Structure 1
Amino acid sequence: MTKNDQGEVAVVRWPGRTPAVEQGLAGLLAAYHLRTEAEKGRAVAAVDELPDRYRDEISAPRTAFGDDCVLLALSGDTAVGCVVVTAPAGGRSEIKRLWTSPEFRGRGIASDLLGAALAHAAETGVSAVRLSVWKWRTGAVALYERLGFALTESWDERDQLVCMQRAV
């Protein structure tokens, strides 16, 4: 749990919360995908202009992440951060969609989410956790490195994508 100007922020597992929290998750995913597309030079004005797979995550996260663990950072009942830990496969899980609302950044929320994600991965018995991050997200890369992630051979052919892994 992180304390900040807005009070305490708790990391909880989703689903199982109120509908407002589910809408908050959809809002976080929308912000994540819209920002990512803009950073890739393909800015879109609205969610309905995103690729289908991203719109599906936003509109139906229970379906998109049905086998995965979704962790949310909550300030009261407001979702202010999220991360997805994929279901184990081949002895590994993957961390995806780490996002903190801009107005809540710099308060340790992403670190708390990642700590909870790593704890969850350890509970599932995987030996490693991997992730991919865009090269220009230098703050995220630095955070991952501080938490023990190291560069690894890419499993994704997209240009400017950095792949990292850490033992659990």
Structure 2
Amino acid sequence: MSAHPAVAVVRRPGHLLHERDGLPALLTAYHLSTEAEKGSPVVDAAALPERYRAEIRAPRTAFAADTVLLALDGPAGTPVGTAVVTAPREGASEIKRLWTDPAHRGRGIASALLRDALAHCADSGTGTLRLSVWHWRTSAIALYERAGFRVTEAWDPRDGLVCMEHPGVHADPRPGAAQDRAVRQRP
């Protein structure tokens, strides 16, 4: 088994995103893969539904009120994964667009993004974290269950979506814990 270089997870307020963050490429790959899995493959981002093209074109606008987590690989900080944590509504936030570049999978990047999403919600006082996932993404569902998410009543009417919720997000009471989690490292 070979050692993998460190991957850092950083948080960016959506309104402070920059082109160099690499989010458009990650979002494009996510949406193209999702459309293919749905049975509606498209050749490129131009053929995606407008709502997805808008995210790719202007993530800073699309996620302005949200927090974007980016997994950056190696000393160059190459973006290899992302997740978006929506701004809380009625005490709940949602994870969207959790994605790891396929060439970098199997290194715990999605787990690190998920842990940081939970930590972000705890740090910000959000009581509940939820997500939806397509039923065929069984490995993602297993990851979410290992992290403590449970299937819950659907809030999204689309067929094939599994809605999940974390039973409770609580802040770490140790002094400095929030600052310690602002940037996570995974070997």
TM over 0.5: yes
The aligned counterpart of 1:9 is: 7
Q: Which has the higher contact order (CA 8 A, sep 6+)?
A: 2
Q: Tell me the distance in 2 between the aligned counterparts of 1:36 and 1:17.
A: 23
The aligned counterpart of 1:132 is: 132
The aligned counterpart of 2:59 is: 61
Question: Whose radius of gyration is greater, 1 or 2?
Answer: 2
The 8 Å contact of residues 73 and 109 in structure 1, kept in 2 or not, is answered as yes
The aligned counterpart of 2:165 is: 165
Percent of aligned pairs sharing the same letter: 61
| Offset, 1:103 | 0.9
Provide the alpha-carbon RMSD of the alignment: 1.5
Unaligned runs of 5+ in 2: 170-187
Q: Which amino acid in the other structure matches residue 160 of structure 1?
A: G
The aligned counterpart of 1:38 is: 36
| Offset, 1:85 | 0.3
The 8 Å contact of residues 132 and 162 in structure 1, kept in 2 or not, is answered as yes
Q: Structure 2 vs 1, CA of residues 4 and 121 (structure 1 numbering), >3 Å: closer, same or farther? A: farther
Within a 5 Å distance, the mapping from 1:103-122 to structure 2 comes to: 103-122=103-122
Normalised TM-score (structure 2): 0.84
Q: Which amino acid in the other structure matches residue 93 of structure 2?
A: S
